[in-house]
Every structure is written in structure tokens, then in C-alpha cells.
Structure 1
Amino acid sequence: MTVSKSSQVRVKRKGQVTIPSVIRARLGIEEGSLLEVEEQRGAIVLKPAPPLKGGKVVGEETHKQVIRELDRLRRDWR
């Protein structure tokens, strides 16, 4: 386990925070990276999400699948 200096970050609008660049670089976090968020004993824990299987986020649908499902729901609603 790597022990590092703690830093403070300010919570911005919509709950956004900036992870210090040194930490992002060390953990390979870049724009678009997925992180797991947990609450543990009154603390917020962020950690890189495990690699995806098949290249998709769990529950992610293709564009065509979403359109088909919306069309089906519209037909059923009428």
C-alpha cells in the first residue's frame, strides 16, 4: 500500500471534485475513466473500476437497441 500526503479538494457545483494530477497519473485515471464510488465508515472512496469484459459498460445498450426499445414502448403505449 502506498502512503501519500493527503490533499484537500473543493466540492464544486453538482458535487464535482478534481482528483490531484499526481494521483490520476499514478493510477492511470484519465478523462472518461470509470471509477467505483463507495461510502465506507463516513468516508468517500474512489477507485478505478475493474476492466470491462467485452468492451461494454454493464447495462450499456447499442444505439440501435435503444431505438428499437423506444419504438416498442411507443407502440405499446398507444
Structure 2
Amino acid sequence: MNMWKKFEELKIRGQIVEDPEQALAQFKAGLRADIKRELHGKDLYSAEHACQIATDAEEYLKHPITRKVGSQAGET
């Protein structure tokens, strides 16, 4: 289950009604520290948008792109 669906399911189960700013703050508060750092400074317009960016960040952190030093064309 993706993060957004889980977040929404928990809100429904707890009968939580909140405005979009509260939802965004609550969503961000529940994230791991490394994912929170990835969201820092980004313009987030909704909890759903934050969830998409958090999901992308989580995938990146699982499989970071690595570059070998000296592997670019023309380097010796």
C-alpha cells in the first residue's frame, strides 16, 4: 500500500477531519528523518503532493545513483 493510501486510511479510521495545511503538517511529521530532509525547501501544495515527492525520495534512497570517479568520457 502506498504512503498516501495508508495516510488516508488512518485518517478515516480515526475519523480525523483536518484542513489541507494540517494534513500536510501531519503527513510530514510522520516521515522518516532522511525523507523529511528530501522534502525540506520544496514547495508542497498538498499532503498528496508531499506523498508523491516522499515516495520518489524513498525510492531514490533505496537505490541511489552512483557515479564512478573517472568514468566520464575523456577522463584518464
- Structure-2-length-normalised TM-score: 0.35
Structure 1 or 2: more helix by fraction: 2
Structure 1 or 2: more strand by fraction: 1
Q: Which has the higher contact order (CA 8 A, sep 6+)?
A: 2
